[in-house]
Amino acid sequence: MAAGFGLVNIAQISCEFSNAPGQHFPMCVKEVAQVAYLVTQTFCVRFTMKAPLRPTVLRGMAATVDVTYYTSGASERRILVPVSATVNQTDQQIVWIPELDETVRCRTAKIGIVTDGQVEILSDLPPGDRVAVA
């Protein structure tokens, strides 16, 4: 996530488990670490959810978490991703797009302004595409 991200910016949080591909379950933030990891400069975030009847979900299982959030002052039409989601490869900026089969593919992306740890994607990224972020 980027600087300026906070609980008030969150529009929606959902997760997907490998034993239920394509099914998304609502989640809530339980806690956010107060101090970033020294090496990665990332914060640990814990989520909570009501256990679904199906599939079987056990405490500690890994999940893919999707967080939709608002950026203050941003136009609704802007696509913003964390700077860490873009890679310069042979003089082109690329992003990694997760596929349903749990692989990723690279896609070129024309980038714009960098603000608060986020970069604007100007083209080549269709609405609805997810971007892998380290």
Q: What is the pLDDT of residues 29-86, one digit of tens each?
A: 888 888 888 887 778 888 889 988 889 888 888 888 888 776 665 555 677 888 888 8
pLDDT of residue 25: 93
Give the integer Cα–Cα distance in Å for 123 and 128.
Answer: 13
Number of domains, the chain = 2
Q: 18 and 31, same structural domain?
A: yes
**Separation CA 41–CA 97 (nearest Å):** 23
Provide the domain limits for residue 121. Answer: 75-134
> 91 with 29, same domain?
no
Band (102; pLDDT cuts 50, 70, 90): confident
Residue 61 and residue 114 in one domain: no
Biggest alpha carbon–alpha carbon distance for the chain = 49
The CA-CA-CA angle for residues 110, 134, 65, to 5°, reads: 105
CB neighbour class for 102 (10 Å; exposed up to 12, middle 13-18, buried from 19) = exposed
**Whether 28 and 80 share a structural domain:** no
pLDDT at 126 over 80: no
Cα separation of 23 and 113, whole Å?
34
Q: Are 97 and 91 in contact (CB under 8 A)?
A: no
